[in-house]
A = this chain, B = another copy of it.
Amino acid sequence: MKNKIQGLADLDRVIHEPARLMLAMILSTVESADFLFLQRETGLTKGNLSVHLGKLEKAEYVKIEKKFKGKYPLTICRLTPSGRRALSSYRSRMDKALGKRRGA
């Protein structure tokens, strides 16, 4: 019990924050996604989405590219291999800690 529960103490806070967890979960299922798609999927405001993407980028969990499609700017986001590992380790840690007493 002790280890699984204590595993929560050093959860990756970059991923643990709910908005960023949403983004990582969504990005884990697609090759890349643009800003507007992420905004629609998460329901975040433009400002919040920018801030959280910025934090994920700073942690090198997400790579962000600015492109143009004709004259429309596109912000393309991808989960990096390191972001994928961080999400996977987070999920497994949460599973262990929360699953432990399932049905208790």
**What is the interface of chain A, defined by CB distance below 8 A to chain B?**
1-2, 5-6, 8-9, 11, 16, 18-19, 21-22, 25-26, 28-29, 41-44, 91, 94-95, 97-98, 100-102, 104
Is B101 touching A28 in the complex (CB atoms < 8 A)? yes
List 17 A–B pairs whose Cβ atoms lie within 8 Å, in order of A's numbering.
A1-B29, A1-B41, A2-B41, A5-B26, A5-B41, A5-B42, A8-B19, A8-B22, A9-B22, A25-B100, A28-B101, A28-B104, A29-B104, A91-B98, A94-B94, A94-B98, A95-B98
Complex contact A101–B29 (CB within 8 A): yes
CB distance from A25 to the nearest CB of B (A): 6
Tell me whether A6 and B43 are in contact in the complex, defined as CB-CB below 8 angstroms, given that A16-B18, A18-B11 are known contacts.
Answer: yes
A42 contacts B9, C-beta separation under 8 Å: yes
Would you call A9 and B19 a contact (CB within 8 A)?
yes
B18 and A9 contact, CB distance less than 8 A = yes
